[in-house]
């Protein structure tokens, strides 16, 4: 059992807690392959998803995870509720809590909102992404996908490519993967990598180009480029970004044969990844999606089963 009420960040997750979540996920994934893909473990519990920022994919994944465990699910999205009528976050949460729910799954554009909500409710709170802060379940599902493919994490060389500074996924990885014994390499333009990061955590290194490190990599994770940032001073053009920080077959030729290629989705094909990457064995992007449900089942079960 996790002896905690909430999952807000990977930063405050111990190695033992992370390993328990990953271990439990193997059991949950097996359920998804059965004829009846549902177990009665959370019968009678209620999970509320509260998405102040739209994300159909993550919300669906959480909802399915809760349903596979027999919990009831209610969904609130910013567009469809009184949040657009100027209701405060606190009022929204308190009102839903008054309907008796056991867990909130929160997505918000501002950093710290899930943590704030955790402080004002007795229900469990799971952070489904808050601004540039963290996205712990994405990091955990990525880590599970790596563990399932590579059978270990210790000593693996894992690169994350893209806008590291503004990515909550990269941030959650930064706290999680080194804790589990993996080496992390941030690849991107200098303007998009936190300054002096390698001095903070000895397992983190920095590279300016994929070509500098590709031969040593076991895993390469691409971050989605936020198209609204294009033509900002950070990126000059999509074509240039693809040439420098995208992956194509030519760059991949120098990589290990069994390197796995990951992306939290949705992919901008032709920007982060060349379209010819789509059909490669090395591409595990859809496995990540499946594993997302299994990891979220593990987290919901571990948080709610002891309450």
Partner 1 sequence: MRKVLMDKDDIKRTLQRMATEIIERNKSVENLIMIGIIRRGDILAKRIAKIIEELTLFHPPTGSLDISLYRDDIGIKKVIEVRKSEIKEDITEKIIVLVDDVIQSGRTVRAAIDAIMDYGRPKAIQLAVLVDRGHRELPIQPDFVGKRIPTSKDEKIIVLLEEIDGKEMVGIE
Count of residues near partner 1 by CB under 8 A = 23
Token pair, residue 21, equals: 């979540």
14 binds partner 1 (CB under 8 A): no
234 binds partner 1 (CB under 8 A): no
Give the whole-angstrom CA distance, residue 133 versus residue 230.
21
Stretch that binds partner 1, among 32-40, 81-89, 120-128, 268-276 (CB under 8 A): 32-40
User: Does the annotation count 135 as an active-site position?
Assistant: yes
User: Does the annotation count 85 as an active-site position?
Assistant: yes
From 45, 68, 135, 179, the catalytic residue = 135
In whole angstroms, the minimum distance from the beta carbon of 137 to partner 1 comes to: 17
User: Does the annotation count 263 as an active-site position?
Assistant: no
Q: Which of 12, 14, 15, 23 binds partner 1 (CB under 8 A)?
A: 23
User: Does the annotation count 224 as an active-site position?
Assistant: no
Residue for token pair 């990091």: 139
Token pair, residue 11, equals: 């930063």
Give the distance, in angstroms, between the CA of residue 260 and the centroid of all CA atoms in the same chain.
17
Token pair, residue 47, equals: 């999970």
Instruction: State the alpha helices, DSSP H only, in the chain.
Output: 15-31, 56-68, 89-97, 113-120, 136-150, 168-176, 197-200, 238-245, 249-252, 285-304
Q: Which of 12, 14, 15, 26 binds partner 1 (CB under 8 A)?
A: 26
Give me the long-range contacts of 230-234 (CB less than 8 A, separation at least 24). 233/191, 234/163, 234/189, 234/191, 234/192
From 59, 107, 173, 296, the catalytic residue = 107
From 38, 57, 90, 229, the catalytic residue = 57
Give the distance, in angstroms, between the CA of residue 255 and the centroid of all CA atoms in the same chain.
25
152 binds partner 1 (CB under 8 A): no
Give the whole-angstrom CA distance, residue 203 versus residue 157.
10
Stretch that binds partner 1, among 40-48, 167-175, 197-205, 221-229 (CB under 8 A): 40-48
Token pair, residue 251, equals: 């760059």
Stretch that binds partner 1, among 26-34, 88-96, 111-119, 155-163 (CB under 8 A): 26-34
Q: Are 117 and 92 in contact (CB under 8 A)?
A: no
120 binds partner 1 (CB under 8 A): no
User: Does the annotation count 121 as an active-site position?
Assistant: no
Q: What is the DSSP string of 249-285?
A: HHHHTTS-TT-EEE--S---BTTTB-GGGTT-TTB-H
In whole angstroms, the minimum distance from the beta carbon of 68 to partner 1 comes to: 10
Task: Identify which of residues 42 and 180 has a Cβ nearer to partner 1 in the complex.
Answer: 42
Q: Does residue 64 sit in helix, strand or coil?
A: helix
Contact set for partner 1, span 41-70 (CB under 8 A): 41-42, 69
Q: Which of 9, 10, 24, 127 binds partner 1 (CB under 8 A)?
A: 24
In whole angstroms, the minimum distance from the beta carbon of 1 to partner 1 comes to: 6
Preceding omega of 266 cis (within 30 degrees of 0): yes
Q: Which of 4, 11, 31, 224 binds partner 1 (CB under 8 A)?
A: 31
Given the rule CB under 8 A, which residues bind partner 1? 1, 23-24, 26-31, 34-36, 38-42, 69, 298, 301, 305-307
**Which residues form the catalytic set?**
57-58, 85, 107, 135
């Amino acid at each position: 059992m996790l002896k905690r009420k909430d999952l807000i960040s990977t930063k405050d997750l111990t190695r033992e807690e992370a390993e328990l979540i990953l271990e439990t996920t193997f059991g949950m994934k097996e359920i998804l392959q059965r004829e009846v893909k549902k177990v009665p473990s959370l019968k009678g519990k209620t999970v509320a998803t509260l998405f102040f920022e739209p994300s159909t994919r993550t919300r669906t994944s959480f909802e399915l995870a809760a349903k596979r465990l027999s919990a009831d699910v209610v969904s609130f999205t910013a567009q469809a509720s009184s949040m657009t009528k100027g209701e405060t976050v606190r009022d929204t949460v308190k009102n839903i809590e008054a309907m008796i729910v056991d867990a909130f799954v929160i997505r918000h554009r501002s950093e710290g909102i899930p943590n704030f909500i955790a402080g004002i409710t007795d229900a469990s709170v799971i952070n489904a992404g808050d601004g540039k802060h963290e996205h712990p379940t994405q990091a955990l599902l990525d880590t599970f996908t790596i563990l399932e493919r590579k059978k270990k994490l210790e000593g693996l060389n894992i690169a994350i490519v893209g806008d590291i500074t503004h990515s909550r996924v990269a941030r959650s990885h930064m706290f999680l993967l080194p804790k589990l014994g993996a080496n992390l390499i941030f690849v991107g333009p200098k303007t998009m990598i936190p300054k002096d990061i390698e001095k903070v955590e000895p397992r983190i290194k920095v590279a300016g180009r994929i070509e500098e490190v590709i031969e040593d990599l076991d895993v390469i994770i691409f971050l989605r480029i936020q198209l609204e940032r294009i033509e900002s001073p950070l990126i000059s053009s999509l074509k240039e970004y693809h040439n420098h920080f995208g992956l194509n077959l030519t760059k991949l030729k120098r990589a290990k044969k069994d390197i796995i290629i990951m992306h939290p989705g949705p992919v901008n094909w032709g920007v982060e990844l060349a379209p010819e990457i789509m059909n490669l064995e090395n591409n595990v992007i859809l496995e990540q999606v499946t594993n997302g449900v299994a990891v979220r089942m593990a987290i919901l079960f571990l948080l709610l089963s002891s309450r």
